[in-house]
Amino acid sequence: MQVDNAEISVARIHAQVGEALQWRWRREPAGGDRPLRTGAMGRGHVPMVGYFNFIHPPRVQVVGAPEADYLAGADPAERRRILARVAAADTAMMVLADDCRLEDAWLDPLHDAGIAVFDTAVSAHRVAYRLRHFLGRALARQVTIHGVFMEILSLGVLLTGEPAVGKSELALELISRGHRLVADDAPEFALLGPDDLNGGCPPLLQDFLEVRGLGILNIRAMFGEAAIKRRKQLGLIVNLVRPTDPALPVPDRLGGSRRTRDILEVRTPEITLPVAAGHNLAVLVEAACRDHLLRMQGYAGDEAFAERQAAALDENGRGEDDSCD
């Protein structure tokens, strides 16, 4: 499992969203090479994007009409104090929204500190919302995991296991049964929310599946557009192991081989299935997905069975007491 940290420059942000937000760069390219990195997303409780704040300054500051009015009324001593706090906090860029303007007494020190300044007539609310959404994806923590990622019965399922255990052959059978391929070999997962591990395929591997004996197969060309899913949220891991593998856990007769795996601090359910002659793995995986979907709705078959057995034992116990009387 390889964890990657993301980085994006101010100039790249401008190239990606500047036109949509009608930005004007006050002194291009001042501050354009300043990077925003993944690690900065979690600096205590300070958001990456926020309205103007010099107490806990975010990396990207949005100035709307109320903030501009406050800055315009600040005396020189207050202005120097505010600018010192903003520069010391590593602010990378500032967007003057709502068609606001700042005097050169504000802009010159910001430019000298390497802070890119943009202005736009677009509302501050829209600017902040768009930037949060864009940077949330661009700077999401990412991890690459060896396996085959699929959509099975609307559920994002990652098939894992040792090399040559049969992941690709199983994936091919599942595709032939109407399920969809997201990524083979090296699916990439990005943490887009507190519990949202969103997986996709590297562009180089898109549409392809490697199957031993057959080589590289183009799933889109063989099965059509419906056999490919571009991205999917991870919901379940199915770990394939050989019966002789010492890592194979002893299954619970009621609950099966279930545990969880932490990926980017997100706890994901995992089911271990043994690969053995005579096992129809495609059917087992489909059943595992159906059972998991039921558990998400609050129903667990093993718990229902245990309750039924307990009720039967209790009923038998009461019957024996009655016969003694």
| b/e code 236-253 from CB counts within 10 Å (16+ = b) | bbbbbbeeeeeebeeeee
How far apart, in whole angstroms, are the C-alpha atoms of residue 297 and residue 211? 35
Which amino acid, 140?
A: A
How far apart, in whole angstroms, are the C-alpha atoms of residue 134 and residue 59? 14
Catalytic residue status for 262: no
Catalytic residue among 85, 146, 220, 258: 146
Helix (H) or strand (E) holding 148: strand 147-152
Q: At what angle do helices 167-176 and 281-296 cross, to 10 degrees?
A: 80
Catalytic residue among 26, 167, 180, 229: 167
Catalytic residue status for 133: no
Other C-beta atoms lying within 10 Å of the C-beta of residue 322: 8
CB 150 within 8 A of CB 182: yes
DSSP lists the bridge partners of residue 9 as 35
Catalytic residue among 75, 104, 253, 325: 253
Other C-beta atoms lying within 10 Å of the C-beta of residue 177: 12
324 by DSSP, 3-state: which? helix
Catalytic residue status for 232: no
User: Any idea how long the chain is?
Assistant: 325
Catalytic residue among 185, 207, 245, 302: 185
Q: Which residues are designated catalytic?
A: 146, 167, 185, 253
